[in-house]
Amino acid sequence: MVDLLHNHLSKHLNVKYDGIAKNCLGIEFNQTNSKITMSQSNYIKELLERYNMLECNTVSTPMALGTKLCISTTPDDKLPYRELIGSLNYLAVCTRPDIVYSISKLSQYLTCYDKSHWIAAKRVLRYLKKTINYGLVFELDDKVVYGYSDSEWSNSQEDRKSYSGYCFMLSNSVISWESRKQKTVALSSTESEYMSLSDSCKEALYLQKLLSELDLCI
């Protein structure tokens, strides 16, 4: 498939093929005959150095249990909060689904943050230092897609909206994930679960069509 794509592009563009990719856009690739690993350890090291967190104490979770963040009435624009959240969001999107919930939460306060939000964001860095070598591992395995869906009911302090989350796995690796606030207020935990399941089903249909287009039978 790679050769087919390369030959097609070469007809229209000047393409140079340097073999198996090892690094692209801050993502490190390690390929063997049986698996491919994607990680961003160097990117995390750069973040730790940029925010003076190389010697920080580590934690086991990206967000403390029971964390309740609120809109700040006295925003502190001197803190590089938005810059840090943007950098962490790139990690969450590319190779670290384990921090996507925390970053989704913290992203709600990009215009109304204070020191409490900054401390919560730096906790993610402390977690990343502990798990710096975590990433995605794709192995030769069965072609069965597994999907998981969950919700958090009425947890937003501002508007009482719930949170949806899902992930899909293929060959024992995560291939799609999301965590975001629901668009409308759920009147019960059951309603919140149904709304989350609806989002998950839409993603499942998309993945089904995509994998079919790639000639992967599922």
For each of the chain's 218 residues, which pLDDT tens digit applies?
Answer: 677 877 888 888 888 777 778 888 999 999 888 889 999 999 999 999 999 999 999 999 999 988 888 888 887 888 999 999 999 999 999 999 999 999 999 999 999 999 999 999 999 999 999 999 999 999 877 778 899 999 988 777 777 888 899 999 988 889 999 998 888 898 898 999 989 999 999 999 999 999 888 887 66
Identify the pLDDT of residue 165. Answer: 93
CB 55 within 8 Å of CB 129? no
Contact 150, 196 (CB under 8 A): yes
Considering the domain architecture, whether residues 161 and 78 belong to the same structural domain is answered as no
- Write down which residue in 139, 169, 187 finishes a domain: 139
Domain count, the chain: 2
The answer to whether position 31 is within a domain reads: yes
Q: Of all helices (H) and strands (E), which one includes residue 53?
A: none
Q: Please check whether residue 102 lies inside any domain of the structure.
A: yes
Is the residue at 130 inside a domain? yes
> What pLDDT does 54 receive?
95
Single-letter amino acid, residue 98: D
Residue 110, CA distances (Å) to 113, 120, 151, 207 in order: 6, 13, 23, 31
Q: Do residues 52 and 123 both lie within one domain?
A: yes
Q: Are residues 152 and 129 in the same domain?
A: no
Q: Domain end: 112, 139, 166, which one? A: 139
Edge-to-edge strands of the sheet including 145-152?
145-152, 163-170, 173-181
Structural domain containing residue 83 = 26-139
Q: How far is CA 104 from CA 66, 69, 86, 113, in A?
A: 16, 12, 11, 14
Burial label for 120, CB within 10 Å (0-12, 13-18, 19+), is buried
CB 186 within 8 A of CB 153: yes
In a domain, 32, yes or no: yes
Number of residues in the chain: 218
* Statement to judge: residues 210 and 160 lie in one domain: yes
How far CA 156 is from CA of 81, 99, 120, 148, 207, in Å, comes to 20, 18, 16, 22, 30
- Which of 38, 23, 64, 55 has the alpha carbon at shortest distance from 129? 55
Burial class (CB in 10 A: 0-12, 13-18, 19+), 127: buried
